[in-house]
Structure 1
């Protein structure tokens, strides 16, 4: 068969912009494609909600790709291994309550299951701002302001585009980029002890793993934090290459938002 480059180009443009137009109004927009964001995306899309995930980098998966120091295995605990087993990732018992899994298998499988469940993924796309509205006297985030990552990296003055969403999951990890923008540009208080971003503390895996799940919650009307962004928002510790808390955080935030969407309480 003779190949026509123009038809190839037309196919890419047609399909991409159809996907883009479908995502101008969402149930849930997830910012950050690490393990918590991907787990939440998979669970919410599987339940039938309209979900899109925005990742600044070319590849999704966050820090899970590299395991510990590029040694590409991760550790999960007894209570979280079901989330890997559910998507078909082999999990091996190591000792006591510790289990290991291949980091590349975890990342690629989780990303695949999220996409196949219906999540629309936009990589190389940055979130540079949010849409803020006052609803019944309460300020609420109800959209994202997005731009091409290459535009951001090059520092070009190119105006962004906007989409609307019922909920946002801030899953950008240590940097909490969405919340930093929200706080910097607006006179608002977060639902944290100080009303601002508390900041991440140093390594303490035991406490960090527990707090990753505990701190997964609404941090501002319309915005939930998950994964390491939850600990950075509420002032807890980092945990390194143990990923059980990340997975459980994604499971928790998906369940909470799904409950609100079902009840119409938003």
Structure 2
């Protein structure tokens, strides 16, 4: 078989555009491809909801790739071990209630689990705005290529309509901040988007199940973005709370869609 570069190019562009157009109107749009949103994407897609995830970077996985200080290992506590099992992630017990997993394997299997379940992931796409209509409800995302922002170019964006949006953008809580800045009178929680407090793993992990919530009509916040928005402590390289937050975010989204 003689390879034709033009056929290869057409195959890439044709397939991408067909899929992209199909995902301009979805049930759930997730901003950020960290562990919480990858978990949420899997459970949403498995439940039969049309699910799309946008990640601004080339690689997905958020801070999980690097483990702790570039040692590719993460710790997960007992409460979240069942999610490791659900994604078939290998781990071993270190001490009672502490489990260690390879961060590279973990991200790979989280991504595989989400895409195999039917979620669609687009990388190198940034969220620069939200759609809000007369009902004062977040009803979609405004997206652009990440390279446009890096190059400081003026290029008009495109829009994705969704019934629910999940902000899993990590420490920046970027979607929450967009709503707070652009919607007059929007108050996301009692104090608005606060920003995370210094690291305290025990408190941060426990609070994460409370801070993972619908923070504005149509907008659910997950993972580190949830703690950052609420002013809760950061957690460091323990990832059980992130996995559980993704599960809860999916459950909250499903409750809004049913």
Judge same fold: TM > 0.5, yes or no.
Answer: yes
Whether 2:21 is the aligned partner of 1:21: answer: yes
Whether 2:110 is the aligned partner of 1:110: answer: yes
Question: What's the secondary structure of 1:237's corresponding residue?
Answer: coil
Between the aligned partners of 1:59 and 1:103, the Cα distance in structure 2 is 14
Between the aligned partners of 1:28 and 1:143, the Cα distance in structure 2 is 9
Question: What's the secondary structure of 1:202's corresponding residue?
Answer: coil
Given candidates 213, 217, 228, the residue that maps to 1:217 is: 213
Whether 2:136 is the aligned partner of 1:143: answer: no
Between the aligned partners of 1:115 and 1:54, the Cα distance in structure 2 is 13
Structure 1 residue 225, shift from structure 2 partner: 0.3
Whether 2:248 is the aligned partner of 1:252: answer: yes
Structure 1 residue 190, shift from structure 2 partner: 2.9
Q: What are structure 2's unaligned runs of at least 5 residues? A: none
Structure 1 residue 261, shift from structure 2 partner: 1.3
Number of aligned pairs? 258
Question: 8 Å contact 2:179–2:186 — kept in the other structure?
Answer: no
Structure 1 residue 258, shift from structure 2 partner: 1.2
Question: What's the secondary structure of 1:127's corresponding residue?
Answer: strand
Question: What's the secondary structure of 1:122's corresponding residue?
Answer: strand
Structure 1 residue 90, shift from structure 2 partner: 1.1
Question: How do 1:117-156 residues align onto structure 2 when only pairs under 5 Å count?
Answer: 117-135=117-135, 139-156=136-153
Whether 2:161 is the aligned partner of 1:164: answer: yes
* RMSD across aligned positions (CA): 0.8
Question: 8 Å contact 1:213–1:246 — kept in the other structure?
Answer: no
Instruction: Give the equivalent residue in structure 2 for 1:100.
Output: 100
Instruction: Give the equivalent residue in structure 2 for 1:208.
Output: 204
Question: 8 Å contact 1:192–1:198 — kept in the other structure?
Answer: no
Structure 1 residue 152, shift from structure 2 partner: 1.0
Instruction: Give the equivalent residue in structure 2 for 1:66.
Output: 66
Question: What's the secondary structure of 2:137's corresponding residue?
Answer: strand
Between the aligned partners of 2:93 and 2:5, the Cα distance in structure 1 is 50
Between the aligned partners of 1:67 and 1:213, the Cα distance in structure 2 is 22
Structure 1 residue 93, shift from structure 2 partner: 0.6
Question: What's the secondary structure of 1:129's corresponding residue?
Answer: strand
Instruction: Give the equivalent residue in structure 2 for 1:184.
Output: 181
Question: What's the secondary structure of 1:134's corresponding residue?
Answer: coil
Whether 2:226 is the aligned partner of 1:243: answer: no
Question: What's the secondary structure of 2:88's corresponding residue?
Answer: coil
Whether 2:228 is the aligned partner of 1:232: answer: yes
Structure 1 residue 179, shift from structure 2 partner: 1.3
